Amino acid sequence: MTANAQEFRVLGPVEIVVDGRPAAIGAAKPRTLLALLLLDANRPVERDWLIEQLWGEKPPNSAEATLRTYVYQLRKRLRGNDAVALHSRSQGYVLEAPAGTVDAQRFDALAKRGRQALQRNRSDEGITALREGLGLWRGPASFADIDAAAVRDKARLLDDLRLEVVEQCLAAELEADSPVTTVAELEALTLAHPLREGFWRLLMLGLYGAGRQAEALAAYQRLYRLLDAELGIKPSPPIEELHRQILQYDPRLRPAAPENATAAGGSRPTVPRQLPSSAPHFTGREAQLSSLDSLLAAPVESAGAATAAIITGAAGMGKTALAVHWAHRVADRFPDGQLYVSLRGFDPVGQPLKAGEALRSLLEALHTPPMRIPRDLDAQAALYRSLLVGRRVLVVIDNARDLDQVTPLLPGTATSLALVTSRNSLSGLSAHGAVPITLTGLAAEDAERFLEHRIRDRRTAAEPEAAERIIAACDGLPLALAIVAARAAARPDFSLTALAASLDDANDRLDALADPDPTVDLRAVFSWSYQALTADAARLFRLLSTHPGPEITTAAAAAVAGITAHAANRLLIELSRGNLLNEPTPGRFAFHDLLRAYSAELAETVDSKRERDDATRRLLDFYLHTAYAASRLTDPNRDPIPLADPPADITPFRLADGETAMAWFASEGAALTTAVQAAAERRLDTHCWQLAWTLRDHLDRGPWQEQTAVWQTALEAARRLDDADAEVRVSRPLAEAYSQIGRTDDAGALLDRTLDLCRDLNDRTGEAHAHLIRGRFFERQERFDEAIASARCALELYRAADHLEGQGSALNAIGWYHSMSGDHRTALAYCEEAMKLMESIGDRHGQATAADSLGYAHHHLGRHARAIAFYEHALALYRDLGSRTGEADTVVNLGDAQHAIGDTEAAQRTWRRALAIFDHLGHPGAEKVRARLAPLADRSMVRARVRSDPGPPLTRRSSWSRTPPLRTARRCPGRPPPGR
């Protein structure tokens, strides 16, 4: 071995060897970590899986940190060899171990070389290679000091492979007429592995070849008694035949390499080909087919070869179709047969098949005489695995319900492969090396081809819009698409448009997909999964249909069901493992559209209206109280609203600080806005307007059209309540949104009513807020004197109320409107006062808007360097706050300042950033940014000529230095009014 060379040893206790000497690894868990990484050398291993293997299902809170420590320790052991390295990945780690650095890899290679030599009748070369490979073993068991489920499974495969090589090597040595030493070894092997008939067969041959006929017959008797006592069976036909030949002094008797059992008469039995027929027009699933193909990439019988895969997915997702299609495609890779058994785990008629019944059918397919099939399940499984040793067999285990059904049917040898399908995830199969393959709905293009193949006559091409509606209604579910396609094919006189119309109403969609045949009726197919649930999981499944959003978290699900988050997590795992829910990202769950419809239908049937209403109320309470707490963290200076304490049957989600609150709003935004609409539809109007109020900062980061819709819904709810205070609170942001999207008349009318309501309520602070918004309303119309007057009125009211944040906003607004009217020096005085006040109270929003206003004033006084500094300060604050509109406004102004000093390229880049944000928000400011960019695009075409005669430099007197800002209702500027 070269200097500083490293290798890994797993054929015995796990070791790292450096320069020929074992290096210390550490305690049990670091050694286990190394073993787990070696199982998947050169492939990413997920961090969560490692933690589960090291600490079980309930790891300590310190598990992740401890894992990092173990990784660090391993890296220290591996330093000094560039070829071997342990790298971090986003979800885990990769151990790079080149070929030949793991002793199991070298054992595989030597075993393969030895077998090939024996097949070419080069026995000396073959025996040498096999013995060299066996010499790598430092004990009878691989991974001998490791106790982890995944490692134990791989170790069993390696140990079985070692025994196969031992058997082949001893057979070759007997063939080479060296029975004396071989017999001694075989005696020990039959004691260590008494149920392995191959060793007994060789022992009988060796004894007979050494002239010890009586001992050979005695060996047969020992085996006979052993099998009868342990398993209740007789020796296999090949052993019985050998026994007969020894009794008769058969002169033809010679040792031979081990083979699989053949029929008693010596003819090879029929190879089982049990696969059902494949779908004639199988469509899509290219990624999954590629994953299945990769299972066959590793060399046969190598330690890296997969022995099982499981295809999971919701009912009707096409699991069986994929399994059977792929099995036919690769049938030639399994020349010893393709077995198929349906476990009827989810079946409209009959009970699930028991593992013993399934094993009996598989043993019979392998030509096992009924008298030789044991009664005991473990004995059946042992016989089944023994029959598959050395064979290349594909076993398709369809429609499994649980692990107990599947585990005894796994081949247990690297030469064969089990392909399992189940609606349940059967995650425990990973301990047996099973590769999971999850099916979701077909992609739109695959679904379109699916319909084309089944309907034919180019009807989808003739009615493409109807085909798109059908695909959308079926949400990519193959069974639903097949039902529609069958109806279309059976009734060519029905247009696809008519079929699509029958699917438009989500409430009637399951009726449209009904069928007398329970195997294809969508309700019936879904019901088999539902009926397999525990009572608590079934209840949660039904009540989740009350959730209006696209995804739901564990905490929200707990609120829906009125249970603890821990209990909800357990039930959500059950639902996701049964593929009644998807888990698109960790901790977030979603329905397939058709399963949501089924869930809602069940809820209507099983749960009372009160139970459903209570679930909705709990969910809205959860969102309201969590969102309110989040809004207080993101803007602690905001005026509060009168909110009752959380009900006892919900627990709001705890948020640590403003940053986590912003992240929560970002992840839950879609659910929150749909919850506002859901509250309105159920006439929970207090929930509706209060929840909308909590979303102000979140809504400010999105499109104004979305804000307008939410605030309109909230206003309608407040008016239904006849709650003037609530109406005032939601009217102000709605007026702001109207102003932003150009509905100035609606904004003006709403502000007039808001001011009247504030005066009736004697709400001076609310009146000040409304005056501040009114000022921006006048600004948009370039009525700057009136805008200044409105802002001054707001300032007086804020001062009377001692409302510091309001005073800062009003001062900044007055300064901004002075800038708009061209009085930039007066603007500086007001904006500087606003900045000092905002800094004193820690209002970062206010600081951002004041910095933007100061930048604008300095810019138009020709102080471009100071302007750019203020703009960049404002940008940093806006980005931290997640205020996309404020950021875009300031980016435009920064581009103006860059252009004013002649840095045209920088200005172009900056304006393009602003344009991207405005386009994303659907903001009308995008057009004015395009107007800035258009002349520069024209100039770039003649830039070469301009360089030769650049003309006078741009100054603050140039037209660009006087360009007015984007009038996008700059929110004083860029800041929502306090207490809005």
HSE, CB side, 13 Å, CA atoms: give it for residue 149.
Answer: 17
pLDDT of residue 251: 63
Query: DSSP characters for 748-773?
Result: HHHHHHHHHHHHHHT-HHHHHHHHHH
Burial of 106 (0-12, 13-18, 19+ CB in 10 A): middle
The pair of three-digit structure tokens given for residue 854, joined into one six-digit string:
């100061």
Long-range contacts of 363-366 (CB under 8 A, 24+ apart): 363/387, 365/272, 365/274, 365/337, 365/339, 366/272, 366/337, 366/339
Label the pairing between strands 394-400 and 434-439. Answer: unpaired
pLDDT of residue 298: 67
3-state helix, strand, coil in the chain (%, to 5): 60, 5, 30
Decide if pLDDT at 972 tops 70.
Answer: no
- The model's pLDDT over 848-892, given as tens digits with 9 standing for 90+, comes to 999 999 999 999 999 999 999 999 999 999 888 877 778 888 999
- Cα(557)–Cα(898) distance, integer angstroms: 51
pLDDT of residue 852: 94
pLDDT of residue 393: 92
pLDDT of residue 957: 28
Between these two residues, 919 and 617, which has the higher pLDDT value? 617
Decide if pLDDT at 555 tops 90.
Answer: yes
Which of 90-94, 200-204, 515-519 is predicted most confidently? Answer: 200-204
Between these two residues, 797 and 39, which has the higher pLDDT value? 797
Supply the Cα-derived Rg of the chain in whole angstroms. 38
Look at the domain 851-974 and name its fold: 1.25.40
pLDDT of residue 346: 79
Between these two residues, 812 and 247, which has the higher pLDDT value? 812
Tell me the one-letter amino acid at 432: H
Judge whether 449 and 395 are in contact, CB under 8 Å. Answer: no
Look at the domain 1-174 and name its fold: Arc Repressor Mutant, subunit A (1.10.10)
CB within 8 Å of 696: residues ≥ 6 apart: 631, 638, 733, 976, 980
- The model's pLDDT over 274-285, given as tens digits with 9 standing for 90+, comes to 888 777 778 888
Token pair 């398709």 is at which residue? 396
Which CATH code is given to the segment(s) 636-641+652-826?
Answer: 1.25.40.10
pLDDT of residue 964: 45
Look at the domain 533-607 and name its fold: Arc Repressor Mutant, subunit A (1.10.10)
Average pLDDT over residues 81-86: 70
Residue 610 CB coordination number (10 Å): 8
pLDDT of residue 703: 77
Label the pairing between strands 394-400 and 417-422. Answer: parallel
| CA distances for 529 relative to 311, 423, 425, 516, angstroms | 16, 7, 12, 19
Residue 437's φ and ψ, nearest 5 degrees, are: -130, 115
**Residue 564's pLDDT band (cuts 50, 70, 90):** very high
Among the listed residues 793, 696, 783, 715, the one whose alpha carbon sits nearest the alpha carbon of residue 744: 783
pLDDT of residue 25: 76
Residue 438's φ and ψ, nearest 5 degrees, are: -105, 135
| CATH 1.25.40.10 domain locations along the chain | 177-268, 636-641+652-826, 851-974
**Residue 499's pLDDT band (cuts 50, 70, 90):** confident
Average pLDDT over residues 618-627: 96
- The model's pLDDT over 52-66, given as tens digits with 9 standing for 90+, comes to 888 888 888 888 888
**CA pseudo-torsion sign 966, 968, 971, 974:** negative
Label the pairing between strands 417-422 and 308-313. Answer: parallel
| CATH 3.40.50.300 domain locations along the chain | 286-427
- The model's pLDDT over 254-297, given as tens digits with 9 standing for 90+, comes to 544 444 333 333 344 578 888 887 777 788 888 999 999 888 87
| CA distances for 656 relative to 623, 626, 841, 878, angstroms | 16, 12, 21, 21
**CA pseudo-torsion sign 739, 745, 746, 748:** positive
**Residue 608's pLDDT band (cuts 50, 70, 90):** very high
Helix (H) or strand (E) run with residue 96 in it: strand 92-96
- The model's pLDDT over 652-678, given as tens digits with 9 standing for 90+, comes to 999 988 888 888 988 898 899 999 999
**Residue 714's pLDDT band (cuts 50, 70, 90):** very high
Q: At what angle do helices 478-490 and 444-455 cross, to 10 degrees?
A: 30
pLDDT of residue 618: 96
Between these two residues, 182 and 343, which has the higher pLDDT value? 343
The pair of three-digit structure tokens given for residue 547, joined into one six-digit string:
């959730």
- The model's pLDDT over 308-346, given as tens digits with 9 standing for 90+, comes to 899 998 888 888 889 999 999 999 899 889 999 988 887
DSSP class of residue 440 equals: -
| CATH 1.10.10.10 domain locations along the chain | 1-174, 533-607
**Average pLDDT over the chain, rounded to whole?**
83
Tell me the one-letter amino acid at 734: L
Among the listed residues 233, 230, 250, the one whose alpha carbon sits nearest the alpha carbon of residue 242: 250
**CATH assignment of 177-268, among 3.90.226.10, 1.10.10.10, 3.40.50.300, 1.25.40.10:** 1.25.40.10
Token pair 């140039």 is at which residue? 958
pLDDT of residue 299: 62
What is the spatial order of strands in the sheet that 582-585 belongs to? 552-553, 588-590, 582-585
- Cα(502)–Cα(449) distance, integer angstroms: 21
Judge whether 311 and 397 are in contact, CB under 8 Å. Answer: no
- The model's pLDDT over 920-954, given as tens digits with 9 standing for 90+, comes to 766 667 888 888 888 876 555 444 333 333 333 33
Tell me the one-letter amino acid at 703: P
- Cα(754)–Cα(45) distance, integer angstroms: 60
Which CATH code is given to the segment(s) 286-427?
Answer: 3.40.50.300
- The model's pLDDT over 823-843, given as tens digits with 9 standing for 90+, comes to 999 999 999 999 999 999 988
Report CA 399 to chain centroid distance, whole Å.
Answer: 24
